[in-house]
Amino acid sequence: MGIPPLESGLDGRGVAIAFIDYGFDILHPCFRTANGRTRFKCIVDQNTGRELDESVINQLIEECEQAGSRSVADTQYDPHANYFGRSGVEAGAHGTSIASIAAGSPVAGFRGVAPAADLIGIQLALPDHHWKEEDELGRPTWRSWQPASEPVWRGWRSYDEASAIVDALDHVYDIACRHRAKALVVNLSIGAYAGAHDGRSTVERKITELARRGANGSGLPCTVVVSAGNAGLEEGHYCGYAEPGRPFSFEWRMSREDTTQNKL
């Protein structure tokens, strides 16, 4: 954030950008127009099942400004519902940061990639195992893993388990169509270490389905941007080239001193 504006002249006008993430600060200046109105067409909170449309968000903004406090908005929609400790709240909601970079409004003092795009937010509900690798005290949860009772440790994120993401993808597509967007870009900055990443998971199949709707002219043009993950420094990746129709193999070596439950 804070980088000079792009020189292309494109600002995302007419395009809907949807963020499937964990929490959005509806009062943040990045998501406001020059006259203070919201740029969110809709925010859906899967934790409560509530859908806040543009008029409701604008009303909350107005009430907060009149009261001089954000408490009115926070009682109606909690962007920090998915955080386990106060550190997450103090750092700000993850969705706020991601959406600011992608579509921050110039009124905030800097410009995101698409400052004129309409915004859609889906706050994901946490799965049963909470996708967390640390408990409330910051201790690694794999230390209590019992292979006998749980052969595959559920702490690793896997797109195969993410029905909430599939529901969110369908929901943002419907919302974008409802608001007659010219195109839809979906940002999915939710990493998944586990799984084959070969296109066969439920989430990957849904992404392919949405992309094909626009490609074959049967629906709204849709692009889904998926994060590559933040684990590059963990040396848990392999880079190589596989030629079609030819065998390809590689070795995966682990240190004897590594006692952690690894991603394999």
User: Mean pLDDT over residues 25-29, rounded?
Assistant: 91
CATH number of the domain where residue 172 is located: 3.40.50.200
> Does residue 255 lie within any of the structural domains?
no
Provide the residue type at 143 as one letter.
R
The three-class DSSP label of residue 166 is helix
Its pTM stands at 0.76
CA distances from 194 to 229, 260, 261, 262 (A): 12, 15, 12, 10
Q: Which two tokens stand for residue 114?
A: 């698409």
Sheet order of strands, 222-226 included: 50-53, 40-45, 118-123, 15-21, 183-188, 222-226
> Does residue 249 lie within any of the structural domains?
no
Predicted local confidence at residue 32, as pLDDT: 93
Q: What is the dihedral of CA 196, 197, 201, 203, to 10 degrees?
A: 150
Please give the tally of structural domains in the chain: 1
Q: What would the pLDDT profile of 236-246 be if each residue is shown by its tens digit?
A: 566 777 788 88
User: Scanning the structure block, which residue is given the tokens 């040396």?
Assistant: 235
Domain residue limits at 136: 15-226
Query: 202-215 vs 163-178: helix axis angle to the nearest 10?
Result: 20
> Does residue 258 lie within any of the structural domains?
no
The answer to whether 28 and 64 are in contact (CB under 8 A) is no
The answer to whether 54 and 38 are in contact (CB under 8 A) is yes
Q: What would the pLDDT profile of 196-252 be if each residue is shown by its tens digit?
A: 667 888 888 899 999 998 888 888 999 999 876 655 555 656 677 778 888 888 776
> Does residue 1 lie within any of the structural domains?
no
Predicted local confidence at residue 153, as pLDDT: 44
